[in-house]
Chain A
């Protein structure tokens, strides 16, 4: 069986995930606060968050980035840090907006997917930064390399709630 035939005859299992935590903060350095829902505004960002376009109050706001409207993080990474590095990193510590479970974020660069009723398009992997070590006081820069989450733009806005399904477009 040649490769084309094999690919046509089989299909990789797809995925669905779930929203576990939602966070935002209005300004640089301030603690992320948990909310049961967040409002995502197409083309702009998370309502009330420091990186919403037009608000620009984040640590990196001096480096505008159209594709940083909402950020996601895998809960599995938090579990791996605890299991493998004995580092306790909580959902409010990683400073991304959405903590998901069952979503292979690193596979989604350049792809569209649904976050509840919002449609996102991933622009790039997030990169860890020394800033997060300064805030948390934990040596997490190296352990977060290549698993620091995903930056996305918001194609269709909406209210995202804890427990919402995450699925491919």
Chain B
């Protein structure tokens, strides 16, 4: 399977240290072309090195499609991502990134409360900038940090307007989340991003709330939606003598990519027929709109197929 382009090509155009231990990167297209647009609260994956993919919130204002701004705190227990960002990335470094994903959907009319701990503010920066740009002030941010908060200049006007409450834990206790989130009949929507202790307090304070009114950002890649409800099965490529377990999350196409199988996938939707492949053993579940019943007896369109048996052998 020939490898296609799977990421947006960007280059580091600026990097600085806006706060101790925090590295801010500006990524842009090498020729200054607009980047794919993003929504308030969105994040992207940075493909830092082979097997090293990390997810970070976009900090700039939605609508500013000329660049992606991310801010990364160096974690003392770094698994490699933040250390790579801090030590290896410099102006001019090319980085592949994913399309922006996700968003934070604030209430248009209700009261929105954002709770952030330190660098956990990043998903709220683009939200607040977007709301401020639209003249919407139905929000408040409670932002806890040890010392001066990082990246505060990004939302300075909102701070000066009194919509952001800063808590310096060197001088005052952490805020009581349950008190902040006390219902006042205003159809409150709450959003939290910060260290685990803060998230736990948030969960406890909102335990009885409807899911639609509480939102947590955990800075972990979202669980990939399962492509099917089929049980995992073993995929065997007879000619190349390789095999892999196909989970619902991986899917047949993902498994073939993982095995570097030589299959010319094109539409990925079961209509073009480019990836028709002979099968030898198993019970393929056909979901294409290409093959006749007779053809299905020996061939399968792998981009949309499943397998109902515990083993599928393809002539690859």
Contacts and interface: CB of A to CB of B under 8 A. Distances in A.
Interface of A: 25-31, 33, 57-63, 127-131, 134-135, 141, 145
Contact of A141 (B8, B9, B33, B269): B269
A31 B37 contact: yes
A128 B267 contact: yes
Interface in B156-209: none
A30 B8 contact: yes
Interface of B: 2-5, 7-9, 29, 31, 33-37, 65, 99, 264, 266-269, 271-272
9 tightest A-B contacts by CB?
A130-B268, A62-B2, A28-B5, A62-B4, A127-B272, A29-B8, A129-B267, A127-B267, A31-B34
Contacts of B269: 128-130, 141
B125 to A, nearest CB: 22
B74 to A, nearest CB: 29
B36 A131 contact: no
Contact of B4 (A27, A61, A141): A61
A60 B3 CA distance: 10
Contact of A26 (B7, B31, B35, B271): B31
A135 to B, nearest CB: 7
B99 A29 contact: yes
B300 to A, nearest CB: 18
23 contacts: A27-B8, A27-B9, A30-B8, A30-B36, A31-B35, A33-B33, A57-B9, A58-B5, A59-B5, A62-B2, A62-B3, A62-B4, A62-B5, A63-B2, A63-B4, A127-B266, A127-B272, A129-B266, A129-B267, A129-B272, A134-B99, A135-B99, A141-B269
Given A30-B34, A134-B99, A135-B99, A61 B268 contact: no
A88 to B, nearest CB: 15
Nearest to B304: A130
B33 A26 contact: yes
Contact of A127 (B2, B5, B99, B271): B271
Given A60-B266, A130-B269, A135 B5 contact: no
B271 A145 contact: yes
Given A27-B9, A63-B264, A135 B4 contact: no
B9 A130 contact: no
A101 B264 CA distance: 33
Nearest to B39: A137
A26 B99 CA distance: 16
B43 to A, nearest CB: 15
A141 B271 CA distance: 10
A59 B267 CA distance: 11
Given A61-B5, A127-B271, A128-B267, A27 B36 contact: no
A142 B162 CA distance: 49
Contacts of B4: 28, 59-63
A148 to B, nearest CB: 9
Contact of B36 (A29, A60, A62, A141): A29
A150 B121 CA distance: 47
Given A31-B35, A33-B33, 4 more contacts: A30-B29, A62-B2, A63-B2, A145-B271
B170 to A, nearest CB: 43
A141 B266 CA distance: 13
